[in-house]
Amino acid sequence: MGKKGKRDKKGKGAEKTAAKMEKKVSRRAKKEEEDLEALIAEFQSLDAKKTQVIESSCPPPSPRLNCSLCAHPERDELILFGGEYFNGQKTYLYNELYIYHIRKNSWAKLEIPNPPPRRCAHQAAVVPTAGGQLWIFGGEFASPNGEQFYHYKDLWVLHLATKTWEQIKAPGGPSGRSGHRMVACKRQLIIFGGFHESARDYIYYNDVYTFNLDSFTWSKLAPAGIGPAPRSGCQMAPTPEGNIIIYGGYSKQRIKKDVDKGTLHTDMFLLKAEGAGKEEDRWTWSRLSPSGVKPTPRSGFSVAAAPNNRCLLFGGVHDEEEEESIEGDFFNDIYFYDVGKNRWFPAQLKGPKSEKRKRRRGRQAEAEAAGEEELQPPPPQGPLEIVKEVVGEDGTVMTIKQLIPGAAEDKDRSGSEEEEEEEEEEGGALGQPVEPCPRSNAMVAVKHGVLYVYGGMFEVGDRQVTLSDLHSIDLHRMDGWKVLLEMDPKTQEWLEESESDEEEDDDVEGAEGGEEEEESSEEESEDEEGEQQHPAVQPGEAQAQYLARTEQYWLRLARSHMGPEAKDKKVLKVAHAMAKTFYEDPV
């Protein structure tokens, strides 16, 4: 009894501390949000000029992060909304709506009057009601310099059949936040966690809210049991029984003045709904201890519901935090969680590549048996110099040289082997399968058992590369990735902080990230073909600018050096080391 009383006291103390911190953050954020509200209102007045629905074919969306990607509940379409883009100096926010037509492998832009304000790090969920609805809650708006934030607490629904936006105004909902998670489950939206940040303070949440899709009312749950610690960016998945699974996430806390410590959560919880009524006091938290192979600790991973009562986790990053810097290891692996068996396991690709290798090994065995040729490992040779030229948009020719110690490739290969390797090069040369490069914060969606992965980001030193490629993989067959859209290096822009002080006067334009700016840049690129699209990029940045395009080059280089039997994870590390060595200290 004494122990229970201590636990209750400790719990109440933690609640009081959290309440005080929330008030403190709220006070300091109020002034910032008032400043940004005027900017948001200005953008909404621009959106108000749209009076009719216009759907038009368009190029793929420009690179962006923290947007939402959902599968249409009735059509073979994916719906992309919002997002942000940071070019090293400015943050651009979007509220554009794009439709990806799966069968045509084409994009269309859908302009609808009175859309939600520009935002990123929101959450979206689709339900099949009345021809399909896309629900959006929360997210954030950032000032162009990325130092002020406005956190939304609004709820919107896009009626897909009538192509109309509607804001749902209901009291009692969650406070403004981003990085939260939301799922549709049993005729209700369920929201968990997230964070609210001002210029100097921040707070993470672990509260749970439900929104009834029939009565349009909010309820704050008070589950029994010990639940997850406050966090953002976790995995949240509904079960067929109407329960909720929470895994992982990220949070940080201030350990001393101006010093924060981040935490990668790896625990797992079940929020169980007991009783037919699923009333507030009928929810219970319990901790899960899954079997199998759990994902390695990471943040920035992407999640989606998968076939056969499973959910999946893709990519992410593990940051090594030093006192003055953060180094990140990025991932492109897939893990499945089997809800029924409470078991994690990594995805295994089964593709034609393995069959080719088997055939090759078979031919080698036959040659040995016939005494035609004795296969011995080639003797060690001197360093191998690989030279590759990449032509920049400004006409600059960059010669990429890499010295690799160890054995060169065997030049006495049979013609059939060379043909096979040529075939492999078409899909990801030298035995490296075609796959998304390692990344975090990718947008994912599943339709008809196929996983679609759009965009994301990775870092090279202080430079952030925002991707806009599109890959897919059949989750039933798991026979390899398909590239639906390659990354276009022309869309990459990175400006160093010292490059231009004049940008500070263009806050509104930068924050808007507007359509007019995109259209004008397209016209300029058409009229001035061959000229550099972003003249502010300095020559020293040119090599990094093309890192996305040469990502597969480094992977092929590493694979050729290590051989076809090397494990993909080791090849990936060697490829990253090669690229990092070259870009930081070019030959």
Domain boundaries, the chain: 29-349+435-491, 543-584
3-class SS of residue 509: helix
Instruction: In whole angstroms, give the CA distance from residue 159 to residue 161.
Output: 6
User: pLDDT tens-digit profile of 569-578?
Assistant: 777 777 776 6
Quote the pLDDT of residue 563.
67
- Most confidently modeled of 21-30, 81-90, 286-295, 434-443? 286-295
User: pLDDT tens-digit profile of 285-311?
Assistant: 999 999 999 999 999 999 999 999 999
pLDDT band, residue 408 (cuts 50/70/90): very low
How far the first Cα of the chain sits from its last, in Å, is: 70
pLDDT band, residue 543 (cuts 50/70/90): very low
% of the chain with per-residue pLDDT over 70: 64
| Range 112-147 burial, b when 16+ CB lie within 10 A, else e | beebbbbbbbbbbbbbebeebbbbbbbbbbbbbeee
Residue 65 is classified by DSSP as B
**DSSP track, 536-563:** TS-GGGHHHHTHHHHHHHHHHHHHHHH-
Say if residues 400 and 388 touch (Cβ distance below 8 Å): yes
pLDDT band, residue 23 (cuts 50/70/90): low
Quote the pLDDT of residue 201.
83
Say if residues 273 and 349 touch (Cβ distance below 8 Å): no
Residue 354 pLDDT > 80? no
Averaged pLDDT, 442-450: 97
User: pLDDT tens-digit profile of 196-226?
Assistant: 987 678 999 999 999 999 999 999 999 999 9
Q: 29-349+435-491 adopts what CATH topology?
A: Neuraminidase (2.120.10)
More confident residue, 153 or 549: 153
Quote the pLDDT of residue 381.
47
Strand partners of residue 136: 124, 156
Say if residues 334 and 346 touch (Cβ distance below 8 Å): yes
User: pLDDT tens-digit profile of 96-138?
Assistant: 999 999 999 999 999 999 999 999 999 999 999 999 999 999 9
- Most confidently modeled of 168-172, 257-261, 531-535? 168-172
More confident residue, 263 or 419: 263
Among the ranges given (150-154, 362-366, 582-586), the one the predictor scored with the smallest mean pLDDT = 582-586
Quote the pLDDT of residue 336.
97
Averaged pLDDT, 426-430: 42
Quote the pLDDT of residue 147.
79
pLDDT band, residue 431 (cuts 50/70/90): very low
Q: Considering all CA atoms of the chain, what is the largest pairwise distance in Å, rounded to the nearest integer? A: 83
Quote the pLDDT of residue 517.
45
Quote the pLDDT of residue 350.
84
More confident residue, 506 or 73: 73
Residue 545 pLDDT > 50? no
Amino acid at 145: N
Q: For the beta carbon of residue 180, count every other beta carbon within 10 angstroms.
A: 27
Among the ranges given (80-84, 90-94, 150-154, 428-432), the one the predictor scored with the smallest mean pLDDT = 428-432
Quote the pLDDT of residue 448.
96
Amino acid at 50: K
pLDDT band, residue 420 (cuts 50/70/90): very low
Tell me, rounded to whole angstroms, the distance of Cα 505 from its chain centroid. 31
**DSSP track, 359-402:** HHHHHHHHHHHHTS----PPPP--PEEEEEEEE-TTSPEEEEEE
% of the chain with per-residue pLDDT over 90: 49
- Most confidently modeled of 280-289, 334-343, 375-384, 417-426? 334-343
Q: What is the mean pLDDT of the chain?
A: 77
Quote the pLDDT of residue 32.
60
Residue 320 pLDDT > 60? yes
pLDDT band, residue 564 (cuts 50/70/90): low
Among the ranges given (247-256, 332-341, 456-465), the one the predictor scored with the smallest mean pLDDT = 456-465
Q: What count of Cα atoms within 13 Å lies in the side-chain half-sphere of residue 536?
A: 15
User: Residue 92: which region, alpha, beta or left (left: phi > 0; alpha: psi -120 to 50)?
Assistant: beta
Quote the pLDDT of residue 268.
98
Among the ranges given (40-44, 251-255, 523-527), the one the predictor scored with the smallest mean pLDDT = 523-527
Strand partners of residue 331: 316, 439
